[in-house]
């Protein structure tokens, strides 16, 4: 802690020394300047005797003694200040270090307080979030408990009545804590999970039912799918257990007399042959529709018929094009084309045309047609023949291109119609039939799937046919260009020979002879 002891002010003696030093300096200056001044006036008779007897030397000596005393006192004060300055500086450093330590402790405590405040806020937020989750979960469980009775068979109501009542009354019981309320509601969920495990392969349990005569009989129930069978303990009543309005006990509807022993055996023993279909035909329908392309086709809606026609036409065109390309590949005769080029290079145009006559090769047929038209119309003849051959290869490609574009659009049209029908039920009386709504969405998805599948399957042969057409076009252009170059060179040779025949040999030194000879 800071020392609070009162100390003497060191500046007060120092000020006194300065004042004494200034007075002594003034007296010394006066005494020194006195002999040089004019003689003083005669002393007054009234002046004191002590003042008359004082001389300037004595005044100077007195001033010097006083000055020396003041200097000594000043030196002593300085030494005292110097001796007190070091401890005070050390104490000041100590106090500053203590202050810095206190500040560090304060900052550390402040950060700790801030962290605790942040953690407290996070805990409050987490607590509120968990409380909201618990409230939401409680609402879900309460809603599940309220609708549980409508989801089970009437014969199971008396079996789960106590659990349902506990779960329904738990939210309104103020004596229960939130954890206890949640536990009571979870008991129904656990019972429901046990019920689902027990229903696999059928479930049997004890209960009571009303017979056709209106009597309540004790017996055993056998729940198989959506059908509940009942057999009384006395063996007199057996049949189907159906819901009875206004009562928790189901009513028994007996079947034919020949079926009664079989039903009683199944209920009591837990095994046997059912004399009826407990799924009411749904199992057979599911078996037929499961994994069946025709079943998916029927679920796709009316738009599936245009897609079917489009796919059949595309498949027919693809088969026809594949057969055409196979036949043309067998008709190709590269040797015939080489023979025609050889004859054309030798100048035998007729021989080249004769070599290609009757050939089924598309390149040879194109060159033969052009050679038969003559030299003057050879380029146009080549273009016409090549265009005819390329057109044969392009047949059907435009239709396949249309199928690739139209099939997804038809699928999207099926999507739109299915969604319109599905969402149209939301505003009508069919709101309570979710199966119809999901069926409309499934119809939309099936149509889209079929449309995309047709487009993808058609796109692969379409690209292959495009590549084959480009290959044939390249071969025709290459052969046509080669033939034109050969015939053009033959024409140049013929023109040169004609020029030499028209211009006989000129004398030596005649201008132009060298060019003609070359």
Kindly report, residue by residue over 473-495, the tens digit of the pLDDT.
999 999 888 888 888 876 666 56
Q: CA-based angle 224:205:142, to the nearest 5?
A: 85
pLDDT, mean of residues 8-14: 49
Higher-pLDDT residue of 109 and 200 is: 109
- Cα–Cα distance, 255 to 213 (Å, whole number): 15
Structure confidence by residue, pLDDT tens digits, 22-53? 655 555 555 444 444 444 444 444 444 444 44
Kindly tell me the number of DSSP H helices and DSSP E strands found in the chain.
Answer: 16, 5
Q: Is the domain of 126 the same as that of 188?
A: no
Contacts 24+ apart (CB under 8 A), 505-512: none
Tell me what the mean pLDDT of segment 339-343 comes to: 88
Reduced to 3 states, what is the DSSP secondary structure of residue 83?
helix
* Phi-psi category of residue 272: left, alpha or beta, with phi > 0 → left and psi -120 to 50 → alpha: left
DSSP for 347-359 reads: T-HHHHHHHHTT-
Same domain as 192, residue 137:
no
CA proximity to 443, closest of 308, 302, 286:
302
Domain limit, last residue, from 131, 151, 171: 151
73 CB-contact burial (10 Å; exposed 0-12 / middle 13-18 / buried 19+) = middle
Residue 113 above 70 pLDDT? yes
| Residue 359 contacts residue 336 (beta carbons within 8 Å) | yes
Per-residue tokens: 502: 């028209």
Residue 459 shares a structural domain with residue 376: yes
Residue 287 predicted with pLDDT over 70: no
Between 360 and 516, name the one with better pLDDT: 360
Identify whether residues 147 and 186 lie together within a single domain.
no
299, part of any domain = no
Examine residue 293 and state whether it is found in any structural domain, yes or no: no
Q: Is the residue at 40 inside a domain?
A: no
* Residue 4 maps to a domain: no
- State the helix-helix crossing angle for 157-169 and 178-199, rounded to 10 degrees: 160
Q: Above 50 in pLDDT, residue 2?
A: no
387 and 311 within one domain: yes
Q: What is the pLDDT of residue 431?
A: 47
> Between 189 and 245, whose confidence is greater?
189
Q: Are residues 323 and 398 in the same domain?
A: yes
Strand-pairing partners, residue 5, are: none
Tell me, yes or no, whether 168 lies in a domain. no
Task: With cut-offs at 50, 70 and 90, classify the pLDDT of residue 112.
Answer: very high
DSSP state of 230: E
Tell me which of 139 and 377 has the higher pLDDT: 139
Sole residue written with tokens 């020194």:
32
Give the number of domains in the chain: 3
Q: What is the pLDDT of residue 499?
A: 62
Residue whose pair of structure tokens reads 């696999």 in the numeric block? 200
Query: Which domain does 265 fall in, by range?
Result: 154-159+180-282
- Whether residue 158 contacts residue 208, with contact meaning beta carbons closer than 8 Å, is answered with yes
Do 122 and 71 share a structural domain? yes
Using alpha carbons only, what angle is made at residue 71 by residues 66 and 76, rounded to the nearest 5 degrees?
Answer: 125
- Give the residue with greater pLDDT, 36 vs 425: 425
Position 333 in a domain? yes
State the chain's mean pLDDT as an integer.
Answer: 78
For tokens 């005569």, name the residue.
213
How high is the pLDDT of residue 240? 78
Residue 51 lies in a domain: no
- What is the predicted pLDDT for the residue at 49? 43
pLDDT at 506 over 50: no
Tokens of residue 164, six digits: 């349902």
Q: Which residues of 388-399 are buried (b: 16+ CB within 10 A; e: fewer)?
A: ebbeebeebbee
The arithmetic mean of pLDDT across residues 435-448, rounded, is 71
- Percent of the chain scored above 70 by pLDDT? 76
**129 has pLDDT over 80:** yes
pLDDT at residue 395 is higher than 80: yes
Longest dimension (CA), the chain: 178
pLDDT of 8 > 50? The answer is no
Is the same domain home to 116 and 217? no
The pLDDT assigned to 351 comes to 85
Q: How confident is the model over 266-275, as pLDDT tens digits?
A: 787 777 777 6
For residues 277 and 224, membership in a common domain is answered with yes
Whether 310 and 432 map to the same domain: the answer is: yes
Residue 333's pLDDT is what? 87
* Same domain for 138 and 268: no
Together in a domain, 188 and 323: no
Segment of 122-136, 210-224, 439-453, 493-507 carrying the highest mean pLDDT: 122-136
Residue range 376-400: mean pLDDT, rounded: 88
Structure tokens, 358: 């009757």
Determine, yes or no, domain membership for 6: no
Q: Quick count: other Cβ atoms within 10 Å of Cβ 94? A: 11
What pLDDT, on a 0 to 100 scale, did the predictor assign at position 282?
Answer: 64
């Amino acid at each position: 802690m800071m020392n609070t002891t009162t100390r003497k002010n060191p500046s007060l003696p120092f000020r006194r020394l300065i004042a004494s030093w200034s007075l002594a300096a003034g007296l010394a200056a006066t005494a020194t300047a006195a002999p040089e001044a004019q003689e003083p006036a005669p002393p007054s008779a009234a002046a004191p005797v002590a003042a008359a007897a004082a001389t300037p030397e004595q005044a100077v000596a007195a001033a010097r003694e006083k000055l020396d005393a003041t200097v000594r006192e000043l030196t002593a004060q300085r030494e005292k200040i110097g001796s007190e300055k070091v401890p005070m500086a050390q104490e000041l450093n100590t106090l500053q270090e203590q202050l810095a330590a206190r500040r560090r402790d304060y900052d550390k405590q402040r950060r700790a307080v801030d962290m605790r405040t942040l953690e407290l806020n996070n805990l409050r937020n987490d607590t509120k979030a968990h409380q909201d989750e618990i409230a939401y979960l409680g609402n879900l469980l309460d809603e599940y408990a309220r609708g549980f009775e409508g989801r089970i068979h009437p014969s199971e109501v008396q079996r789960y009545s106590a659990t349902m009542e506990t779960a329904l009354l738990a939210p309104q019981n103020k004596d229960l804590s939130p954890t206890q309320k949640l536990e009571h509601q979870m008991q129904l969920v656990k019972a429901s999970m046990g019920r689902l495990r027990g229903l696999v392969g059928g479930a049997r349990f004890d209960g009571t039912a009303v017979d056709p005569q209106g009597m309540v009989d004790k017996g055993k129930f056998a729940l198989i799918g959506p059908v509940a069978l009942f057999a009384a303990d006395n063996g007199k009543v057996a049949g189907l257990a159906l819901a009875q309005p206004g009562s928790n006990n189901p009513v028994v509807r007996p079947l034919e007399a020949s079926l009664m022993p079989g039903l009683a055996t199944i209920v009591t023993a837990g095994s046997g042959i059912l004399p009826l279909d407990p799924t009411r035909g749904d199992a057979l329908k599911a078996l037929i529709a499961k994994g069946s392309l025709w079943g998916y086709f029927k679920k796709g809606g009316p738009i599936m018929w245009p897609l079917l026609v489009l796919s059949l036409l595309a498949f027919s065109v693809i088969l026809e094009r594949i057969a055409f390309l196979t036949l043309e590949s067998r008709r190709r005769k590269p040797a015939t084309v080489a023979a025609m080029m050889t004859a054309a290079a030798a100048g035998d145009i007729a021989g080249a045309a004769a070599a290609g006559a009757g050939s089924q090769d598309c390149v040879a047929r194109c060159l033969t047609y052009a050679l038969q038209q003559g030299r003057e119309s050879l380029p146009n003849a080549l273009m016409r023949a090549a265009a005819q051959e390329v057109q044969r290869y392009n047949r059907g490609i435009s239709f396949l291109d249309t199928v690739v574009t139209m099939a997804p659009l038809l699928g999207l049209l099926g999507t739109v119609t299915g969604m319109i029908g599905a969402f149209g039920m939301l505003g009508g009386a069919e709101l309570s039939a979710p199966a119809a709504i999901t069926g409309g969405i499934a119809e939309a998805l099936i149509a889209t799937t079929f449309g995309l599948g047709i487009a993808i399957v058609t796109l692969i042969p379409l690209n292959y046919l495009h590549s084959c057409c480009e290959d044939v076009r390249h071969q025709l252009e290459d052969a046509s260009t080669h033939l034109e170059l050969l015939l053009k060179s033959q024409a140049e040779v013929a023109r040169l020979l004609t020029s030499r025949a028209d211009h006989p040999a000129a004398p030596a030194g005649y201008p132009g002879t060298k060019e003609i000879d070359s």
